[in-house]
Structure 1
Amino acid sequence: MTVSSDIPEAESWFHRNQQRIAPWLFLAPGILFFAVYVIAPVFQSFNLSLYEWDGLGEKTYVGMRNYEDLYWEYVDRDAFFTSLKNNVMWLFLYLLAIPAGLFIALFLNQTVRGIRLYKSLFFFPFVISQVVVGLVFTWFYDPSFGLLNTMLGWVGMGPINVLGNEHLVTYGIVAAGLWPQTAYCMILYLTGLNAVDPEQIEAGRLDGAKGWSMLWNIILPQLRPATFIAFVVTIIGALRSFDLISIMTQGGPFGSSRVLAYYMFEVALSEYGFRMGYGAAIAVVLFLIMLCFIAYFLWSMYREEKGH
C-alpha cells in the first residue's frame, strides 16, 4: 500500500512542475557542451598561464611571471604592444560594419524591382569562407595584377603594395574582414526589421515623422535587440581575428599586422618558441578585454530596459 501511494505522489509532483522542468531538459545538452568546451577551457587557460611549459615536458610554476613579461613587452613597445594596438584598431574599425549593415538592410527592406537579386549579392559574402575572403583580397591588393592597382592606374596613380606597407596593412586586412561582417549585421537587421511594429510606423507618419526622424525615434528603438547582438558579435569577431591575418600576411611585414590571437599562436604553437604558459597569458588578456566590452553592453542594455 505504501508503494502504490508513493507513485501517484511522484507523478503528481512531475505534472505540477512539468512546465518548469521541460525548458531545463531542453537546455541541458547545450549547457553541458558549453561548460565542457567553453567554461572549462577558460579556467584551464587561467591555470596554464601560471606555468612555464613547452607542451611536452614537465610544467614549472612561475606565478605571474608570464604576465610580467607581457607588461615589459608592452612598455618596450615590442610584439605584444603592436598586437594590442592592432586589436584596438580592429575593434573600432570593425564597428563600421554595424551602421553599414543597418543601411543595407533598410535598402533591402524596400519593395523595389529586382530586390531578390540585390539580397543575394549582399548575402553572398556571409556564406563564403574567411579563407576564400583572404585569398580574394590578397589578389585584389596585389601590386602587379590586382584590381585595386588597375583601377588606380586608370586615374594616373601608381601601384600601392597595401599588404607590404606596414602603415597600410592593418587597414587593408580590416577592409577584407568588413566585407563578410557587414553582410552578417545586415542579416541581423533584416530579421529585426521584420519584427518592427507597423502600427508605430503609421502613428509616426500621422505625427509627421519621416526620414531620419522616423529612423531615430521609431525604428532604431525597436531594433535594440538586433543592435546588441550585432555589437557583441562584431566585438568578438574583431578581438579574435586570426584567419585573415594568417592567410593574407602571416603577421607581416615585420610583424606589423599581428593581433593578439595571431601572436598567441606564434609564441605557443609555432617554431618561435612553444611557450604554452606565455601564450595562455595572452589568451587571458584577450578574454578579459572581450569580457569588459561585452559586460559594458550588457549593463547598458539592462539600464535601458530598467528605465523603460
Structure 2
Amino acid sequence: MTRPALPASSAERVSRSWWRSNQRRLAPWLFLAPGMIMFAVYVIIPIFQSMWISFYDWDGLGEKIWIGLDNYRELLDDDAFYTSLKNNVIWLVLYLLAIPAGLMIAIFLNQNVWGMRLYKSLFFFPFVISQVVVGLMFSWFYAPDFGLFYRLIELLTGQGIAVLADERYVTYGIIAAGLWPQIAYVMILYLTGLNNVAPDQVEAARLDGARGWRMLWYVILPQLRPATFIAVVVTVIGALRSFDLVSIMTDGGPYGSSRVLSFYMYEQALSEYGYRMGYGAAIAVVLFAIMMVFISGFIWKMWRDEAER
C-alpha cells in the first residue's frame, strides 16, 4: 500500500525542517566540498594514475604496453637512479638545517627594538623571490673568474673552486641556494607561532628562574609544536621535490652528478632524452613513497606526543 503524496506546501515544510535540523552538521561539508573536489581531481586521482602508468611501457602518445613490474626492476639496476636517490638523501639531511636556523632568526626578530621592521623585510626578502631568480643569482655567485664566491676562495687559498662544475661540490652548492629562501619560509612560520605564545606562561617561567635555553626548551618550543610540524612537512617536501634549482643551475650536470629523483623523472618522462612515461611514473611512485614515509612518521610521532600529554 503506497503512502499518499504530500501536498507541495507540506513537502516544502518537511524539506525546510530537515535542513534546519541538519544545518550545523552539513554546512562545514558544503564549505569544504569545492576544495575537496579540487584536491581529489588534481592530487588524489593523479597519484593513482601515476601508479597505474608505472606498470606500462608508454611514450605518452602511442599505445600502452603492459609490462608489470619491469620498470621497477630496471630501477634496481640503474646507476643514475641511485645517484639521484643519494642526492635526495643529502638534500633531505641538509635541508632540515632550515628549521633550527629559521627558529633562531625568528627569535631574534621577535623583539621590539628600533629598526626591526627593516630587519624583518631583509630576512623576508628571499621568500618572495622566484626560485628561477635564486638559481640565477647563485649561478653568478659561483661562476668561475668573476663570481664572488670564486673570488673569495681564490683570495683565501690561491685557487678558486668552480662549484657547479665540480662533481664533489655541485650538490652542496645547489642546496645552499635552496636553503636561502627555505630558511626565510621557516622563519615566517615561527614568527607567526611566536605571536601565539602565552605571555603568562613565559612570565611564570621567569619567576621560577627559567632563562635562555631552559626557557626555550621547556616553555617556548612546546607551544611552537604546530609551527614545527608545518615547518618539517614543508621542508621535507621541498627537499624531495627539488627540481627547479637543479634544472636552472646545472641541468643535472656535470655528468649527471647533481640529479635528484624529481629531475631524473622529468628527464625520463618528458625531455628529449626519454619520453618514457612509464619509467618516469615508476620514479615518481618511489619518490612519493619516500615522502610519505617521512611525513607519516612525523605525523605519528606528533600524534603520540599529543596523546601522552
Q: 2:19 aligns with which of 14, 30, 40?
A: 14
Task: Name stretches of at least 5 consecutive residues in structure 1 with no aligned partner.
Answer: none
- Which residue of the partner structure matches residue 103 of structure 1? 104
Give me the whole-angstrom Cα distance separating, in 1, the residues matched to 2:124 and 2:304: 34
Distance in 2 between the 1:49 and 1:156 partners? Answer: 49
Compute the displacement of 1:156 (Å): 4.4
Counterpart code for 1:142: A
Q: Which residue of 2 aligns with 1:91?
A: 92
Q: Compare 93-102 and 6-15 and name the one that shifted more.
A: 6-15
- How many matched pairs? 304
Kept in 1: contact 2:99–2:231 (CA 8 A): yes
Question: What's the CA shift string for 1:182-241, capped at 9, x where partnerless?
Answer: 000000000000000001001100110010000000000000000000000000000000
What do residues 250-282 of structure 1 show as CA deviations (whole Å, max 9, x unaligned)?
Answer: 000010000000001111111212111000000
Tell me the amino acid that sits aligned with residue 166 of structure 1: E
Moved more, 3-12 or 291-300: 3-12
Q: Is the 8 A contact 2:135 2:248 kept in 1?
A: yes
Distance in 1 of aligned mates of 2:261 and 2:156: 38
Q: Percent identity?
A: 68
Residue 150 of structure 1 and its aligned partner are, at CA, apart by 2.1
Within 5 Å, give how 1:153-232 maps onto structure 2. 153-232=154-233
Partner residue in 1 for 2:134: 133
Q: Secondary structure at the match of 2:50?
A: helix
Name the SS of the counterpart of 1:118 in structure 2.
helix
In the TM superposition, what are the counterparts of 1:71-86 in structure 2 within 5 Å?
A: 71-73=76-78, 78-86=79-87
- Note if 1:249 corresponds to 2:250: yes
Q: Does 1:32 align with 2:33?
A: no
- Which whole-Å CA distance do the structure 2 matches of 1:253 and 1:153 have between them? 22
| Aligned 8 A contact 2:154 2:161 in 1 | no
What is the TM-score when the length of structure 1 is the normalising length?
0.97
* CA distance in 1: counterparts of 2:162 and 2:184, whole angstroms: 27
Distance of 2:158 and 2:119 partners within structure 1: 32
Where does the alignment leave 5 or more consecutive residues of structure 2 unmatched?
Answer: 1-5
What residue in structure 2 maps to residue 145 of structure 1? 146
**Residue 3 of structure 1, CA deviation:** 3.4
1:169-188 deviations in Å (ceiling 9; x for gaps): 00000000000000000000
Partner of 1:304: 305
Report Cα offsets for 1:91-126 as digits up to 9, x if no partner.
Answer: 010000000000000000011111001000000000
Residue 47 of structure 1: how far off its partner (Å)? 0.4
TM-score w.r.t. length of structure 2: 0.96
Name which of structure 1's ranges 17-26 and 27-36 shifts more when overlaid on structure 2.
17-26
The SS at the match of 2:77 is helix
Would you say 1:55 and 2:60 are equivalent positions?
Answer: yes
* Among 68, 75, 91, the residue aligned to 2:73: 68
Q: Are 2:56 and 2:278, in contact at CA under 8 Å, matched by a contact in 1?
A: yes
> Which stretch shifts more, 116-125 or 8-17?
8-17
How much does 1:155 deviate?
A: 2.9
Deviation at 1:72, TM superposition (A): 1.8
Residue type of the partner of 2:61? L
How far does residue 22 in structure 1 lie from its aligned partner after superposition? Answer: 1.4
| Aligned-residue offset at 1:6 | 2.9
Partner secondary structure for residue 256 of structure 1: coil
Q: Which amino acid aligns with 1:284?
A: V
